[in-house]
A and B are shown apart, each in its own frame.
Chain A
Amino acid sequence: MARHLLVTDFILPLKSPKLSYLCEPQKGRSNGSQKVSRTVAYYGLKTPPYKLDALEPYMSKRALEVHWGVHHRDFVEDLNKQLGKSDILYGYTMDELVKATYNNGNPLAEFNNAAEVWNHDFFWESMQPGGGNMPKLGLLQQIEKDFGSFTNFREKFVEAALTLFGSGWVWLVLKRHEKQLAVVKTSNSINPLAWDDIPILNLDMWEHAYYLDYKNDRGKYVNEFMNHLVSWNAAMVRMARAEAFVNFGEPEIPIA
């Protein structure tokens, strides 16, 4: 992945020894009068793929206005402010930025904002109006293979959500090495991309995600999500894409 740094007349400081492998130290040419603008990374706020009132009554318009319009927007703006300070983190996709700022378990200051931007983008797309029900086709088969049954998966997912202490997220991930689906819960803004697994679905269990609609009734929030909001269409698309990266072996082609 080519990273293009516009070399202008400034000297790139090597900020921290952790990042020394990322940037090639380039000495700027001191050409006194020339003033060229720097290039830094900058991300935009993605709009959810539905109107803000489309998830009523399970997630109110007001909740989305605040959760997306204020929280998510603030994460994007704060991230951009941090990125504006230097161009060390220039040239990443959102996925790569999350991994890079996670820095193998020693997160950089930008990690929290980057991860929360990613997590919330993923979350809006993990829901749809008229969601819920069950997955179909290959994803259903894989769930039945890895959890025994869909009911068993649902139980595990809900249990993980309700036993999460503090703030965090619940995920359905495809574990890259084990080639299996699993339910995972993470604290604060940690994201399974950090250990190279592939997220298929997520659920925001920070209090701000459900407080306006459900106050402290987490159980109801999680159940409404599973029954009416979760987008198995999105999950199936993500699973199909994941199969390009994880070798499940030869497909079973029925013999005519």
Chain B
Amino acid sequence: MALRSLATRKTLTQGLNSVKLTQSRALQTFSLPDLPYDYGALEPAISGEIMELHHQKHHQTYITNYNKALEQLHEAILKGDSSTVVKLQSAIKFNGGGHINHSIFWKNLAPIREGGGEPPKGSLGWAIDTSFGSFESLIQKISAEGAALQGSGWVWLGVDKELKKLVIETTANQDPLVTKGPNLVPLLGIDVWEHAYYLQYKNVRPDYLKNIWKVINWQYASEVYEKECP
């Protein structure tokens, strides 16, 4: 019995050493994804000024800090510095989450002339009607949840890939949707942090939520849905 456990420990550390080697060679850094449209293309729903700041300043800051935190985590893991590893978790969740969420958000938006605002057809449209009664009812529910969220966060339309069910969820700060359920896949996320609408709508978040539907890219949401629920 003791012999067996000794043997497994040896192979485990051998295995870990080889993993360490590959890790130190391949630390990926992240960079700001390009927007598939001009900053001003979503006007008047979202102003060009907001889009530019949101993309170039806010999203970029999340990416910069995410990369920094990952590097610090990498070093801490190599050194076996557990307290630093654990301490970095909140910075990684916040900045990594910010990067994940905003990357999805840019794909969730599209200029009107490129289909922004067009309701989904196909299986997603059908699923929405089944789960929520109608497209309008879904919109209303998401807007209500988004308006009621206190502080900073996101409102999501997601699909539970196990149960094949559509869900509406909110997350605080930059928590990704997966923190609300490991099987949840985001189809559509709306940023309700003040920076997402303040310069244009001031504190009237409901107006922002009313107008953003005009530039929502349901095409992308449908694609993700069809991949999870073929």
Q: Mark A94-126, 1 if CB is under 8 A from B, else 0.
A: 000000000000000000100000000000000
Taking a contact as CB atoms under 8 Å apart, the answer to whether B198 and A207 are in contact is yes
Judge whether A187 is part of the interface by a CB distance below 8 angstroms: yes
> Number of A interface residues, CB 8 Å?
19
Pair B61/A208 contact, Cβ less than 8 Å: no
* Smallest Cβ-Cβ distance to B94: which chain A residue: A165
* Stretch of A82-90, A144-152, A210-218 contacting B (4+ beta carbons < 8 Å): A210-218
A211 with B151: CB separation less than 8 A: no
Contact A165 B90 (CB under 8 A): yes
Residues of chain B within 8 A (CB-CB) of A215 are 53, 57
Residue B193 interfacial (CB < 8 Å):
yes
Residue B161 interfacial (CB < 8 Å): no
User: Could you tell me if A207 and B152 are in contact, using CB atoms closer than 8 angstroms?
Assistant: yes
Tell me the bound Cα distance from A39 to B124 in angstroms.
Answer: 52
Indicate if the CB atoms of B58 and A165 lie closer than 8 Å.
Answer: no
Whether the Cβ atoms of A207 and B195 lie closer than 8 Å is: yes
Complex interface: chain A residues within 8 A of B195 (CB): 207, 211, 216
* A187 cross-chain contacts in B, Cβ below 8 A: 151
Q: How far is the CB of A190 from chain B (nearest CB, A)?
A: 10
Tell which of A112, A208, A212, A216 has the most Cβ of chain B within 10 Å: A216
Distance in Å: Cβ of A138 to nearest Cβ of chain B: 36
Chain A residues within 8 Å of B53, by CB? 215-216
- Chain A residues with CB below 8 A from B199, complex form: 211-212
A211 to B199, CA, bound (A): 8
Q: How far is the CA of A71 from the CA of B174 in the complex (A)?
A: 23
A55–chain B nearest beta-carbon distance, Å: 19
- Judging by beta carbons under 8 Å apart, are A167 and B194 in contact? yes
Q: Are the C-beta atoms of A216 and B203 separated by less than 8 Å?
A: no
A–B pairs, 20, beta carbons within 8 Å: A66-B202, A165-B173, A165-B174, A166-B151, A166-B173, A166-B174, A168-B151, A187-B151, A188-B151, A189-B150, A207-B152, A207-B194, A207-B198, A208-B198, A208-B203, A211-B194, A211-B195, A211-B199, A212-B199, A216-B195
Interface contacts beyond A206-B194, A216-B58: sample of 16 additional A-B pairs, CB < 8 Å, sorted by A: A66-B202, A66-B203, A165-B90, A165-B94, A165-B173, A165-B174, A166-B172, A166-B174, A168-B151, A189-B151, A207-B152, A208-B198, A211-B195, A211-B198, A211-B199, A212-B199
Residues of A participating in the B interface, judged by any CB pair closer than 8 Å: 66, 70-71, 74, 112, 165-168, 187-189, 206-208, 211-212, 215-216
Closest 4 CB pairs of A and B: A207-B194, A166-B173, A188-B151, A167-B151
